[in-house]
């Protein structure tokens, strides 16, 4: 008899984490890999945030804290939601977790069980379906084609809702497509949701501050305040403040949901790192001007990468409006032959070919629920992106 519970057989390792492991292994073996798989800014955590962490350590703030976050950080989160999103939460309506990932995990584990459906627009961040499966629920994918900007359409949402729907998961700027919703697009989705009061909304706003072309960010509870009583707004410091390793994320939502999430967290990780929390207070309340400076750098990289992709034989790319990923279509390359005579039958085949042929690591669209595409992160330095683009062009030219 197997030691393993059924629930672990329902899920796969995170493809992006596994790609990271594979790339590090190949580099350790001496392969000259250009890895455009990273889901994290290549910038350093700003010095004022590092100093806040040092001060916290020197002051002995190295002990357990309240499970759902220190009062200072929960206050800072409340302030952030009010300042940037016009959302008002009480202290018992916010929770801090070990990354936004834990906040999403806790929310779904507390609310989803066998017989529950969770609507996930595709392409999607890799962890949503697996967390739903782990919780025993059923992910219901709604295809959001490139022709519709990779965005959920109200009529498709309406069609996907059943009496068993527990949640709709929204994520914009989107990982991997970079799509963001205009206010009126969120309004139209909100109108559907208002007709279905049993459906809750988990909005993952992790890339809120990585947004281009002067576009404005909107989150659904702000656009339709009547939805706030059934919305969990998830965010974190990983992407905006280059703090991926500090593992601090947070959520705002109705107090009964937050209380259950804190209870779940009390039996798993307890509080997120005390020093990380002190650093996050400084991130949320300290100077914010570097965010726009870094965004401008990401935007220049996006423009470079998209131009390169469009010039690459067999590839095409839309213009991402946020996050730091390109998600080009490789439809034209499907069916072509490699110099070794193998057929590229899928985006996964293309990704393996790029790794074998030119030592370029990217991620297959299949992992994000959309094919034939692949995800290429431009949260890497310009020299790396230039070299990546050169290798990509070379590999594409070699396909027959």
**Residue ranges that bind ligand PLP, judged by CB under 6 A:** 39, 99-101, 125, 171, 175, 204, 206, 236, 238, 244, 249
Q: 């900007």: which residue's tokens?
A: 149
Q: Would you say 110 or 126 has its CB closer to ligand PLP? A: 126
Q: Would you say 100 or 388 has its CB closer to ligand PLP? A: 100
| Nearest distance, CB of residue 16 and ligand PLP, angstroms | 7
Strands 34-35 and 249-252: unpaired
| Nearest distance, CB of residue 206 and ligand PLP, angstroms | 4
Judge contact between 125 and 234, C-beta under 8 A.
no
| Nearest distance, CB of residue 389 and ligand PLP, angstroms | 23
Task: Give, for 171, the enclosing helix (H) or strand (E).
Answer: strand 165-171
| Nearest distance, CB of residue 314 and ligand PLP, angstroms | 27
Judge contact between 253 and 231, C-beta under 8 A.
yes
Pairwise CA distance, residues 237 & 247, whole Å: 8
Residue with the shortest CB distance to ligand PLP: 99
| Nearest distance, CB of residue 127 and ligand PLP, angstroms | 7
Separation in Å, CA 343 to CA 340, 395, 397: 9, 14, 15
Pure H helices in the chain: 6-9, 15-28, 47-58, 71-85, 99-111, 127-134, 154-160, 183-194, 220-223, 255-266, 274-285, 289-311, 347-358, 382-398
Widest CA span in the chain:
64
Q: Would you say 207 or 353 has its CB closer to ligand PLP? A: 207
Q: Would you say 120 or 360 has its CB closer to ligand PLP? A: 120
Pairwise CA distance, residues 69 & 244, whole Å: 18
Q: Would you say 137 or 249 has its CB closer to ligand PLP? A: 249
Beta bridge partners of residue 249, listed in sequence order:
97, 236
| Nearest distance, CB of residue 335 and ligand PLP, angstroms | 31
Pairwise CA distance, residues 48 & 40, whole Å: 20
Q: Would you say 70 or 244 has its CB closer to ligand PLP? A: 244
Q: Would you say 139 or 249 has its CB closer to ligand PLP? A: 249
| Nearest distance, CB of residue 125 and ligand PLP, angstroms | 4
Q: Would you say 99 or 253 has its CB closer to ligand PLP? A: 99
Neighbouring residues of 220: CB distance < 8 A, sequence distance ≥ 6: 170, 186, 189, 190, 193, 201, 203, 227, 231
| Nearest distance, CB of residue 251 and ligand PLP, angstroms | 11
């Amino acid at each position: 008899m197997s030691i393993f519970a059924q629930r672990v057989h329902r899920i796969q390792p995170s493809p992006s984490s596994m790609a990271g492991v594979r790339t590090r292994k190949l580099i350790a073996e001496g392969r000259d890999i250009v890895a455009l798989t990273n889901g994290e800014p290549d910038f350093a955590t700003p010095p004022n945030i590092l100093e806040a962490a040092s001060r916290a350590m020197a002051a002995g703030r190295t002990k357990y804290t309240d499970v759902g976050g220190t009062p200072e950080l929960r206050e800072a989160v409340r302030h952030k939601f009010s300042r940037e999103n016009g959302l008002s939460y009480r202290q018992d309506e916010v929770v801090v977790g070990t990354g936004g990932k834990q906040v999403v995990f806790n929310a779904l584990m507390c609310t989803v069980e066998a017989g529950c459906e969770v609507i996930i627009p595709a392409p999607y961040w890799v962890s949503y379906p697996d967390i739903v499966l782990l919780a025993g629920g059923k992910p219901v994918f709604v295809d959001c084609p490139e022709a519709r900007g990779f965005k959920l359409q109200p009529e498709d949402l309406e069609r996907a809702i059943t009496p068993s729907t527990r949640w709709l998961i929204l994520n914009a700027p989107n990982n991997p497509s970079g799509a963001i919703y205009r206010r009126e697009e969120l309004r139209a989705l909100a109108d559907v949701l208002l007709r279905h009061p049993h459906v809750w909304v988990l909005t993952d706003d992790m890339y809120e501050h990585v947004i281009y072309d002067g576009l404005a960010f909107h989150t659904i509870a702000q656009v339709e305040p009547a939805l706030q009583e059934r919305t969990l707004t998830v965010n974190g410091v990983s992407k905006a403040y280059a703090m991926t390793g500090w593992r601090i994320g947070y959520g705002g939502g109705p107090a009964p949901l937050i209380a259950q999430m804190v209870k779940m967290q009390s039996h798993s990780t307890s509080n997120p790192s005390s020093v990380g929390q002190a650093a996050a207070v400084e991130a949320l309340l300290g100077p914010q001007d570097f965010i726009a400076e870094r965004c401008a750098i990401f935007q220049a990289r996006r423009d470079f990468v998209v131009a390169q992709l469009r010039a690459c034989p067999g590839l095409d790319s839309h213009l991402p409006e946020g996050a730091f990923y390109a998600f080009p279509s490789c439809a034209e390359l499907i069916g072509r032959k490699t110099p070794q005579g193998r057929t590229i039958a899928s985006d996964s085949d293309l990704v393996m070919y790029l790794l074998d042929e030119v030592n370029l690591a990217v991620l297959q669209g299949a992992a994000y629920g959309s094919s034939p595409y692949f995800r290429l992160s431009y949260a890497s330095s310009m020299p790396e992106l230039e070299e990546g683009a050169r290798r990509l062009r070379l590999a594409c030219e070699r396909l027959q």
